[in-house]
Amino acid sequence: MKLQNFQVKDNVVIQKFIEIRKKSHWKTRLNLSWSNWGFGIEPFETSCARLAKYNIHFIELHGNKYGPDLGYKAKEIRPILDDYGIKVGGICGMVSPESELSSNKPHITQRSIDYFRRHIEFCAEMGGKYILFAPGAVGRPQKYDDSEFYRAGDAIRILADDFQKHGIRAAIEPVRAAEVSFCHTFKEAKALIDYIHHPGVQHIGGDLYHMLVGEDHIGTTILEYGDYLTNLHTADTQRGALGNGFLDIDIVIMALYIIGYNNESCFVTPEPLGPGGDPYPAMWGRPDPKVLDELVRQTAEYFYERENEVLSASDEELLR
């Protein structure tokens, strides 16, 4: 029987994985992290204890320094992180209509620039590797005008020297059209990087949920943009825990190993926020801790299980 188109692309990834693993030992595994803003306003130590319990040793911090006196402070959270053996992978930049880089109101653009400067310094202080952000506001799918792309690029270029000075990767995140007005695909994120044209802005923060609707094939997209990818948000097809939907996580894992993603600057970061056009209200929620425990447990156990299965499988088992 003739293969479906997606199966043909699956096999491209599988064949490359089989070929490259013949000369790779892969003693270093992928870095599993977690984006903590979906935990709402629960105590930071509670979140860290949960991650450590399920063998997650990295965290993507909520970018909550909304003003000079607000948000995380290194002297307060570093001891907690140390106690639980957790390191900061990066920071999730929050971009709303009140603070965004593509705004047609200059004072809002400046507010966003100031916001990111605080987080660049903080990320470096905490030993993080990246800050991810959408170039337009999340929860605003209606465009202002046809110049959003250029305003965002010009504003990000202002920040590029700061990113470079502090050694922090600026990771532009493509987000589905239901949530943002532009930059929905890796190709569009790369076009923005090219427009900015600065060595301080050279990375992409992917998200499997957005890739499901924005890309032709997740695995081949990872291969095509492997030099740019530094963080990959994960969730299953219903934006829930891995293993609850029909996402082919094996193909994702194979693609990541092919591009050499198992290194100290790259992270697989679950962000299972549930469906909807504006997930940001979750940052102020009070989720049931038992629900969060199960979300983390299932995701971590399933990811580690599938990673082990992929790495130990024979060629015959991988070929479908």
Q: Which pLDDT tens digit goes with each residue over 128-154?
A: 999 999 999 999 999 999 999 999 999
Given this model, what pLDDT does residue 277 score? 61
pLDDT at 275: 65
pLDDT at 287: 80
Rounded distance between C-alpha atoms, residue 149 and residue 301, angstroms: 39
Q: How far apart are CA 103 and CA 178, in angstroms?
A: 18
Q: What's the rounded Cα separation, in Å, for the pair 56 and 312? A: 21
pLDDT, averaged across the chain: 96
Domains and CATH numbers, the chain: 28-313 (3.20.20.150)
What's the confidence (pLDDT) of residue 94?
97
Query: Using CA atoms, how far apart are residues 169 and 265, in angstroms rounded to an integer?
Result: 9
Mean pLDDT, residues 175-197 taken together: 98
Burial class (CB within 10 angstroms; exposed 0-12, middle 13-18, buried 19+) of 319: exposed
Q: What is the largest CA-CA distance in the chain?
A: 63
Per-residue pLDDT of 69-125, as tens digits, reads 999 999 999 999 999 999 999 999 999 999 999 999 999 999 999 999 999 999 999
Rg (CA), the chain: 19
What confidence category does residue 283 fall into, taking pLDDT thresholds of 50, 70 and 90? confident
Separation CA 259–CA 236 (nearest Å): 22
pLDDT value at position 278?
A: 62
The per-residue pLDDT for 285 is 75
pTM for this structure? 0.96
